[in-house]
Amino acid sequence: LFLSLVLGDITQKGYEKKRAKLLAPYVPQTQGRCLFRRFRFLLSEARDCFAGVEPAFQKESKPQLPVPSAAPASAPAAASASKFHRARSGGARDERYRSDIHTEAVQAALAKHKEQKMALPMPTKRRSTFVQSPADACTPPDTSSASEDEGSLRRQAALSAALHQSLQNAESWINRSIQGSSTSSSASSTLSHGEGKGTSGSLADVFANTRIENLSVPPDVTATTSSSSSSSSARPAAIDLPPSGIVKGVPVSSRVSTKIQQLLNTLKRPKRPPLKEFFVDDFEEIVEVPQPDPNQPKPEGRQMTPVKGEPLGVVCNWPPALEAALQRWGSTQAKCPCLTALDVTGKPIYTLTYGKLWSRSLKLAYTLLNKLGTKNEPVLKPGDRVALVYPNNDPVMFMVAFYGCLLAEVVPVPIEVPLTRKDAGGQQIGFLLGSCGIALALTTEVCLKGLPKTQNGEIVQFKGWPRLKWVVTDSKYLSKSPKDWQPNISAAGTEPAYIEYKTSKEGSVMGVTVSRVAMLSHCQALSQACNYSEGETIVNVLDFKKDAGLWHGILTNVMNKLHTISVPYSVMKTCPLSWVQRVHAHKAKVALVKCRDLHWAMMAHRDQRDVSLSSLRMLIVTDGANPWSVSSCDAFLSLFQSHGLKPEAICPCATSPEAMTIAIRRPGVPGAPLPGRAILSMNGLSFGVIRVNTEDKNSALTVQDVGHVMPGGMMCIVKPDGPPQLCKTDEIGEICVSSRAGGMMYYGLAGVTKNTFEVIPVNSAGSPVGDVPFVRSGLLGFVGPGSLVFVVGKMDGLLTVSGRRHNADDIVATGLAVESIKTVYRGRIAVFSVSVFYDERIVVVAEQRPDASEEDSFQWMSRVLQAIDSIHQVGVYCLALVPANTLPKTPLGGIHISQTKQHFLEGSLHPCNILMCPHTCVTNLPKPRQKQPGVGPASVMVGNLVAGKRIAQASGRDLGQIEDNDLVKKHQFLTEVLQWRAQATPDHPLFLLLNAKGTTVCTATCLQLHKKAERIASVLSDKGHLNAGDNVVLLYPPGIELITAFYGCLYAGCIPVTVRPPHAQSLTATLPTVRMIVEVSKAACILTTQALMRLLRSREAAGAVDVKTWPTIIDTDDLPRKRLAQLYKPPTPEMLAYLDFSVSTTGMLTGVKRSLLWLEARKAFRAVKLWIQCRLGAQKSLLQRREGGLWSGHQEFCCCLPLGEQGILPGVKVVIVNPETKGPLGDSHLGEIWVNSPHTASGYYTIYDNETLQADHFNTRLSFGDAAQTLWARTGYLGFVRRTELTAASGERHDALYVVGALDETLELRGLRYHPIDIETSVSRTHRSIAECAVFTWTNLLVVVVELCGCEQEALDLVPLVTNVVLEEHYLIVGVVVVVDPGVIPINSRGEKQRMHLRDSFLADQLDPIYVAYNM
């Protein structure tokens, strides 16, 4: 159990609870109380210890610990472990970003925000969404920082039982996370109002108690209400109708309205920075780079000159090659210790001498060259590349393999041990191995056994990796070389020595090739800078396979006959003081550490107080390039100065894989003053200039130097973007180094190599400065007074937002300065930028603690946003919290930033909390369009004529050409045609009914249809006692029964009203619509099937409507064989034929009257409303289409489907009209489609006659330019006519009609009109789990509702994806994203989305959404 605690598999609280339960039967209660007091004392000591490390601990209340029951002997040990682990799980391991000054600054900035009392709407979440499904997600993670750590390396088999045991009680974790953090969206208004913390409750209280008496009018949530929380009712200051019209029955006191009010209040704050808004018609120039602020700081110094380091001295005994040094020490000083490895407890387990290193390396070199193949076909030859796959706790085997490769003249490529097929970044490592042509991997026997295997026992094929042959390098498998065999050791040249892998910002892995002469020169420069002398002992806590751990602990070590004590991270996790103990025990002169190691030692230093660091002359802090390392160094010095640590011994250095060691602070003279610090303005740094901070102490960055340039090197600072122009002396740029000791190329990547390794700096005029090539280091900094080098960030962590540069480490530091101890794991925060809408946007992702409540998380997120905005003057686009242990990790346990970014963009991050702030960040939107003063229709027509454009008109073929037929004249009505066909062609099949498989299940011939229609007419007369002209509702599913009932009504002279039957599974939703149509149409009878008749009278139906008020219901399943004596013949063609009722997409029920003229024979079979069905995918919804309203845009680029020659029906004329002025528009201009034809509908079916509405829709005239005064019917559809190059049958050029969408569906936002289907199409393709989508507006906010067909874990993934795609493709900011279950979006009988019904349900809080996100 203790081992699980130490490894971070369970929390301190879980450990104590389980231990108390296990040991309770064996310890008396009094003893338990005594132990409890001892525990309290030790914990208070621990808190005192943390006071200088973790400010958040000072504010934490005393823990409520269960009474632990343990033997007295184990109490001190358990207490010390408790002390260490409590701090560690609290996140103090990532204290490399801690700064007391910065923390105070952040708290001061947040205090200003508190004064504003701005209530942010908290997202609404369904209860089930809180539950983290995987059990391991509830296990506290290894809180390792983004720097490398062994936290995620594979567990030994012996630990599997402990791991299993720690997960046994996972259910209690989940239950606790639910109780602590979840609140049902429908049950708790506290959660959804965000009342839990701070100031967010005041405004919510007002709105929660607000009641508006007139429920028929929606509230104006843009107006402020003046009311106290005690008042029981209040009225808004003004009522503003939504653009779509009046919506009845929306309870405006719902929580949704409250949240939208909070959101609008939040959005009233001015954006930062206030950028100029603009709008350019040209698509490529819609958004341009914002104009620079005239007050921004600019560099004022002179152009810098390259800075030279001290000359590289010549020492007589330096070897001509590193292999020669190994040969020398292996032969002459064989018993001198070279490398000591530690076991898991931190005790020395094996010491490799120089003699052993030489002999074993020799054996390996001989084996590689002579024993892996045949004499004629060797597997390896000099110059080939091999992979070194060794675990981080086995430096001895790695060192032997590395030098064995050097002696064999093959090029080693050290990589991490692969754990699974799906390791983060594993595919990119495979790409590196493939590009290097590697076919052989060296490893140990133990490591080989631990690799994942297939069922056949073979090593799995890792994703993206080439096929490898694995060679075990344990001594027992190597062949001893003959006495006469000697390796070829020549003087160091430019041939490759080894390849070090490097992961770029985008996630790609490149191999930095280091030549033999560069390797040797670097060792010489390090020896001179660090003043190494033979026989010194150094302690190395770094990864020995790369970077400074390799350069000092493996290479320079051998050159100077040093003794390296290698402390792996697995030891550091169990004993964080182990490296300090090794320095004390071995009287080490030099220690190689990172800031994290300093903090681990500080946390555990009271476990052993008798350590001495007086022997250290250099404490090399290898991540001194991190600008936040100064606080780590200061805290460590203040704590360990009493243990003999000399202030001048702390030596930060700056390194990079390409330029290797760039600068290092030389060990100082005792008593000499320490180098000064630079206190820089963060505002100045964001503009790339150096300014001493004098304005706002809250936004200052204190930076320490990293010493001087390396011996034999030369350094310059160039602009990070564009050509490598030398910076001015007060300007921040990328550090470039020219030296023999640096990388030579990225292996196999010539193009990238030239831009990185062969940089020739230029002056302001663009002329080259000298001809010496420099290497880009990837570090940002400047050269200060006394040629001291200062580093302020990395190119990989650079976030360029609106022309200003921010550093990811600075953002992390600010986020951590907000009290995060109860919400997130401090070491598990990733900051990166994504490109959205022509600029970079900052994204922050952190791992949330399983026991963090929703309110705490939301409060922390809100405060982080405020802090970053105040300190850095930049907005965060998205802040996401993910469950514990779910962020992808690097091989050594840090966060894999590029993989995290990829998951975010793919929608596979699965956050448990998310906060989007596009309104704050996106300041480069096009300027909202202002409506121009109206231009009259006459002016438009004259303008078109002057421009040579014709009026947008089109027409189908003339009906007169096909009606010269006596038969047609004789049979004017469809009923007559059917009777004639029943006699002339009785067996001709008219209708076929197909099932889902496409097979015919039912047919209707002319005769069958006629006879069945006669029987139905008879039933209507006999049973229904109906007269001609009575309305009859036909309630049938689509099929032949519906068709026969339709003709039966026509035979009886009744008016059929076709209605979609209700769904048995959702009667409450569908039956009221049926009831409404029956009532509105004043139907005298309902024709239906027996099954539907039973449904209409069922108990379930009685719960939705009053079933006793149905009119006569007649089922047509069993019809009597009786027919009418005489079939009905209408006296005139203008008489009503049938009623077409439907619910529009805006929620309005309309009934359209169709006359018998519309049903005339030859016309009816063609008139299938083809023009309505032509729904275009005008996906690139062109700004031209939206510009200046609806009708003035030019349609040159519209990607729509033209209707063919038959698209416009015979006898139909079409004109495109401005819907406001009713004037005709020109060719290719967008407007409303008006139609003139003999078969249009005759009017609306209304209870009260509204002649004005009728005339406007069915009989309207153009306001200008139509001398014939033609009567037109308005379709309500937007479209345009365009003359094509095709030729019509008449010989004239063909006019194509394009339909864009319905006029009443358009959304007006930012002065432009949008069609919902365009936005919905964009949203639907962003993620595979989006089943359906609908959009609507509410108080000028765009609301997007998406149906989630995947697991609820993916719900929050959709929020950033939806926001991104609408912003990118439609230049709109989404206000609210609602994630719902499949089937929630209502669909009418024609398959159209009922967006207004959906809006009403949303505002009335009736959707039961999975998640509602309010974008800030």
Q: From CA 29, how far away is CA 883, in angstroms rounded?
A: 38
Q: What pLDDT score was predicted for residue 212?
A: 33
Strand partners, 1309: 1312
pTM over 0.95: no
Which residue from 875, 828, 878 is spatially nearest to 852, judged by alpha carbons? 828
Residue with tokens 């754990």: 419
Tokens of 400: 């032997």
Task: Give the containing element (helix H, strand E) for 336.
Answer: none
pLDDT at 166: 36
pLDDT computed for residue 457 by the predictor: 86
Chain position carrying tokens 């006692």: 1025
- Give CA–CA dist 1183/1196, Å, rounded: 12
Measured CA to CA in angstroms, residue 1250 lies from 780, 824, 1152, 1243, 1257 at distances of 74, 63, 13, 10, 11
Could you give the 3-state DSSP secondary structure of residue 198? coil
Instruction: Give the pLDDT score at 967.
Output: 57
CA distance 60 to 1084: 75
**What is the predicted pLDDT for the residue at 1277?**
84
Angle, helices 1316-1324/1358-1370, rounded to nearest 10 degrees: 130
Q: What's the pLDDT at 1155? A: 62
Q: Report CA 241 to chain centroid distance, whole Å.
A: 35
Q: What are phi and psi of 1242, to 5 degrees?
A: -95, -10
Confidence (pLDDT) at 202: 35
- Convert 698-761 into a string of H (helix), E (strand) and C (coil): HHEEEECECCEECCCCEEEEECCCCCCEECECCECEEEEEECCCCCCEECCCHHHHHHHHCECC
CB-based contact 560:532 (threshold 8 Å): yes
The count of C-alpha atoms lying within 13 angstroms of the C-alpha of 814, restricted to the half-sphere facing its C-beta, is 32
pLDDT of residue 1256: 63
Of 415, 500, 400, 499, nearest in space to 464 by CA: 415
CA-CA distances (angstroms) from residue 1116 to 549, 678, 932, 1089, 1093? Answer: 88, 92, 60, 6, 10
Which residue from 1142, 1053, 1020 is spatially nearest to 1387, judged by alpha carbons?
1142
Spans of the chain, pLDDT less than 70:
2-9, 27-101, 113-120, 127-257, 260, 264, 266-290, 315-316, 607-608, 694-697, 820-821, 931-949, 957-971, 1143-1207, 1239-1259, 1264-1268, 1289, 1389
DSSP per-residue letters across 941-1000: HHHHHHTTPPB-EEE---GGGG---HHHHH--SHHHHHHHHHHHSTT-EEEEEE-TTS-E
Residue 273: asked if its preceding bond is cis (omega within 30°), the reply is yes
Q: pLDDT, tens digit, for every residue of 412-466?
A: 999 999 988 777 788 889 999 999 999 999 999 999 999 999 888 889 888 889 9
Contact predicate 468/439, CB 8 Å: yes
Length of the chain, in residues: 1416
Say how far apart CA 1019 and CA 777 lie, in whole Å.
92
Give the pLDDT score at 1265: 65
**31, 584 Cβ separation under 8 angstroms:** no
Per-residue pLDDT of 1334-1349, as tens digits, reads 999 988 899 999 999 9
806 vs 3: CA distance, rounded Å:
41
Q: What is the pLDDT of residue 776?
A: 95
